[in-house]
Amino acid sequence: MHQSHAHQASRLQLNSQGDLKHFLSTEGLSREILTAILDRADSFLDGSGGIRNEPLLAGRTVMNLFFEPSTRTRTTFEVAAKRLSADVLNIDISKSSTSKGETLRDMLWNLEAMTADIFVVRHGASGAAHFVASQVTPRIAIINAGDGRHAHPTQAMLDMLTIRRHAGDFSGLTVAIIGDIRHSRVARSEIHALQTLGAKEIRVIGPRTLLPRDFEELDVKVFEDLSAGLKDVDVAIALRVQNERMESALLPGSSEFYSMYGLTRERLKVAKPNVLVMHPGPINRGVEIESELADGPQSLILKQVNYGIAVRMAVLAMAMDGQDADRAAEVAP
């Protein structure tokens, strides 16, 4: 993201005191803010791997507005909101009045009139969450649950929490992201988060057709060869390859992708001995990763799901606090 865009994104996400009031993107947010999210998420995790319930959003309403299907993300947001004692409404967009011609703006204004406090928005258009936050409902906390090819900030932050809890400080880490980087909102959000949190080196690995065109601007090391890219890495994150692209000219097929870029225990031998294996899910076994590795001791894939609830709890609570602080400042004499 260009500096002016990053500054714009930062200004939109923060309240007048500099605290989070929307969570739209990892871009443009400071290390302090990202670390505060991780610390808050940590506070919800108990020592036994469970998650504490805290009634921080009692009496508040969280609306999940998913214009794209996503069972895992929507479910974890719902669980997170309920653990904070919020009322949760899942709006089935495919059956909503937008399909009858009502505009997105009108629909959101109507939902706002129903006294919603937080919108969790997932949309196929890049920039949709920013549009909602800046043009439609600036007084409602907006959480981006994935927009187009642009950003998936809570997925990035749950991955950052996973890395921090299992690998420690970011400053000595080399992290590799493997697969369809060009079309991945997860990859972009992770790259910006890793850079902000001070990772030593970020690598992206994949076929040329799936690598980002703007990798120089992203400041990452690019590898087309899996073995070279995995050498001495501390963390390997396999991305889901979207099947619709397998049928296009970008890739010859899933079996060929696996033969060149699938993560296996054998191929990971060039990485650090204690390399951590991650995947945002859902996994295509035998395409991005072998089953034995996905289910093995190095894999943190199920931990990621658990940490995702804690991160989403943190973001929901912090954004609501930021909105409340803004309102209090407006009415203060």
Same fold, 3-152+308-331 and 153-305: yes
pLDDT in tens, 283-322: 999 999 999 999 999 999 999 999 999 999 999 999 999 9
Buried b (16+ CB within 10 A) or exposed e, 280-298: bbebbeebbbbeebbeeeb
CATH superfamily, with its number, for domain 153-305: Aspartate/ornithine carbamoyltransferase (3.40.50.1370)
Q: What is the reported pTM?
A: 0.93
Annotated binding site for carbamoyl phosphate: 72-73, 122, 152, 155, 281-282
Residue that is written with structure tokens 């940590």 in the block: 42
Q: Quote the pLDDT of residue 2.
A: 46
99 vs 258: which has the higher pLDDT: 258
Strands 221-223 and 201-205: parallel
Annotated binding site: 72-73, 100, 122, 152, 155, 185, 240, 281-282
- According to CATH, what is the number of the domain 3-152+308-331? 3.40.50.1370
| Domain locations in the chain as residue ranges | 3-152+308-331, 153-305
Question: Residue 244: is its pLDDT beyond 80?
Answer: no
Q: Quote the pLDDT of residue 1.
A: 44
Q: Quote the pLDDT of residue 71.
A: 83
Q: Quote the pLDDT of residue 109.
A: 85
Q: What residues form DSSP beta bridges with 45?
A: 51
Annotated binding site for L-aspartate: 100, 185, 240
Q: Provide the 10 A C-beta neighbour count for residue 71.
A: 9
DSSP E strands in 61-187: the ranges are 61-66, 87-92, 118-123, 141-147, 174-178
pLDDT in tens, 140-185: 999 999 998 889 999 999 999 999 999 999 999 999 999 988 888 9
Spatial separation of the C-alpha atoms in residues 286 and 290, rounded to whole Å: 5
Spatial separation of the C-alpha atoms in residues 198 and 255, rounded to whole Å: 36
